[in-house]
């Protein structure tokens, strides 16, 4: 599968959405906590990991 920006962002958002729905559905914590604290943290962490992964891939491709 050839990833471009659109597919990558859609996959990241889909994974975060799946995690958010699962946490809300389990009733493990309050919905407001999930939406205001956990979901933004998942998005930021996912974006950071994606950026690090892209840079590592660029490094591996050139060396």
- Identify whether the C-beta of residue 16 lies closer than 8 Å to the C-beta of residue 42: yes
Give the pair of three-digit tokens for residue 19.
């995690």
pTM of the model: 0.82
47 vs 43: CA distance, rounded Å: 6
59 vs 63: CA distance, rounded Å: 6
pLDDT in tens, 4-62: 889 999 999 999 999 999 999 999 899 999 999 999 999 999 999 999 999 999 999 99
Distance of CA 15 to the CA centre of its chain: 6
The conformation of residue 27, written as its DSSP 8-state character, comes to T
- Identify whether the C-beta of residue 12 lies closer than 8 Å to the C-beta of residue 47: yes
Domains of the chain, residue spans:
5-58
Is a pLDDT exceeding 90 seen at residue 1?
Answer: no
């Amino acid at each position: 599968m050839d990833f471009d920006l659109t597919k990558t962002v859609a996959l990241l958002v889909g994974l975060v959405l799946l995690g958010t729905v699962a946490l809300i559905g389990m009733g493990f914590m309050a919905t407001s906590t999930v939406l205001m604290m956990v979901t933004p943290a998942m998005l930021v962490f996912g974006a950071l990991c994606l950026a690090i992964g892209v840079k590592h891939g660029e490094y591996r491709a050139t060396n």
